[in-house]
Amino acid sequence: MASSSFAAASHLLYPAALVGSSFAPRRGRPAAAVPAAVEGGREFDFKGYMVARAAAVNRALDAAVPVAYPERVHEAMRYSLLGGGKRVRPVLCLAACELVGGREPLALPPACAVEMIHTMSLIHDDLPCMDDDDLRRGQPTCHVVYGEPLAVLAGDALLALAFRHLADPSSYPSDDLHPPAPRLLRAVAELARCIGAEGLVAGQAVDLESTGLADPVSLDRLEYIHLHKTASLLEASVVLGAIVGGGSDDQVERLRRYARCIGLLFQVVDDILDVTKSSQELGKTAGKDLASDKSTYPKLLGLDKSRQFAEQLLCDAKDQIAAFDPAKAAPLLHLANYIAYRQK
């Protein structure tokens, strides 16, 4: 297995010619189940959409974590939180809010909250006692710069700040735009469930106990790990956006299923990229899964079947948003494509 090359990967990933732009529109083989109407907006400027939303999220994150006393822990939080990244989770949150008819500024605080949680999980994951990673997004990891104790604390503080930012009325632009308290409370409980021992932490824990075993883990277990370790937080992102946007229960559940599909897709693609890309291209250590005997889709299924599985997940995700207004669904549709066809 893993007789991979960039050329072999290109039926799922972007053609090499388009690699220059992270948000280049998809030109490869179309995913079969997508109705033309939904694929629709050929005019939809996905790159412009992502760049504008990421900039808004970055401004909001910058404002949410001031440089305050004690400076070092705030600096460590800011270092990891503001150090780049595509802001896929926050943008999913904003897009889901708009899709159900909500106004986008309503979703900025939950969008920031999910990014804070994501950053916390990266900081703690990278610790020497966990994955022991020195490099993240091409930069030294938090504990390398600030030391382990402060990295643990910065992670804890980001976790707490996520809930504060989500729950505090002052995070929202005005009383008119403040989501009703019962919806915010539901968002708090959803976020907490998605990151706790039934969510993100469950995935990390099962991943931990599956590492270094003599036998490869089963596909079921691998799916459990990724549905919890990766999909949970994408689920929270989309579900929180839909909740604060005033979505119906049916809409929330549809979007939850969409998110679980693209969450698993995200990881399958990550596994594929790990064996098909260089460290320089990824901005993090490549081939690490292979070196560590960690189970991945390419190892269990082979590269071709992993790609087929990714295509299926992409179709399933798009099915969930097919019933929405195509114009409003365009961002989530393109985000699913982006996750499938990203280069890193």
We find the least distance from the C-beta atom of residue 145 to a copy of itself, in angstroms, to be 15
Is residue 223 within the footprint of a copy of itself (CB under 8 A)? no
Is residue 24 within the footprint of a copy of itself (CB under 8 A)? no
Is residue 192 within the footprint of a copy of itself (CB under 8 A)? yes
Is residue 208 within the footprint of a copy of itself (CB under 8 A)? yes
- 141: phi then psi, degrees, rounded to nearest 5: -70, 165
Q: Nearest Cα to 110, choosing from 175, 188, 180?
A: 188
Task: Say whether 140 sits in a helix, a strand or coil.
Answer: strand
- 10 vs 232 by CB, closer to a copy of itself: 232
We find the least distance from the C-beta atom of residue 232 to a copy of itself, in angstroms, to be 11
Is residue 145 within the footprint of a copy of itself (CB under 8 A)? no
Task: Say whether 135 sits in a helix, a strand or coil.
Answer: strand
Write 65-69 long-range contacts (CB < 8 A, 24+).
Answer: 65/161
Is residue 120 within the footprint of a copy of itself (CB under 8 A)? yes
- 76: phi then psi, degrees, rounded to nearest 5: -65, -40
Using CA atoms, how far residue 296 sits from 212, 235, 311, in Å, is 13, 21, 17
- 82 vs 185 by CB, closer to a copy of itself: 185
We find the least distance from the C-beta atom of residue 189 to a copy of itself, in angstroms, to be 4
Binding segment (CB under 8 A) for a copy of itself, from list 32-40, 50-58, 94-102, 203-211: 203-211
- 73 vs 269 by CB, closer to a copy of itself: 73
Q: Which sign, positive or negative, has the C-alpha torsion 299, 304, 309, 315?
A: positive
Is residue 181 within the footprint of a copy of itself (CB under 8 A)? yes
Inter-residue contact 57 to 115 (CB < 8 Å): yes
Residues 25 to 84: which contact a copy of itself by CB under 8 A?
65, 68-70, 72-74, 77
Q: Total number of residues binding a copy of itself (CB under 8 A)? A: 54
Is residue 20 within the footprint of a copy of itself (CB under 8 A)? no
d(CA 336, CA 28): 14
d(CA 31, CA 341): 11
Task: Say whether 12 sits in a helix, a strand or coil.
Answer: coil
Q: Report the interface residues with a copy of itself, using CB under 8 A.
A: 65, 68-70, 72-74, 77, 120, 124, 127-130, 148-150, 152-153, 155-157, 159-164, 166-168, 180-182, 184-186, 188-189, 191-193, 195-199, 201-202, 204-206, 208-209
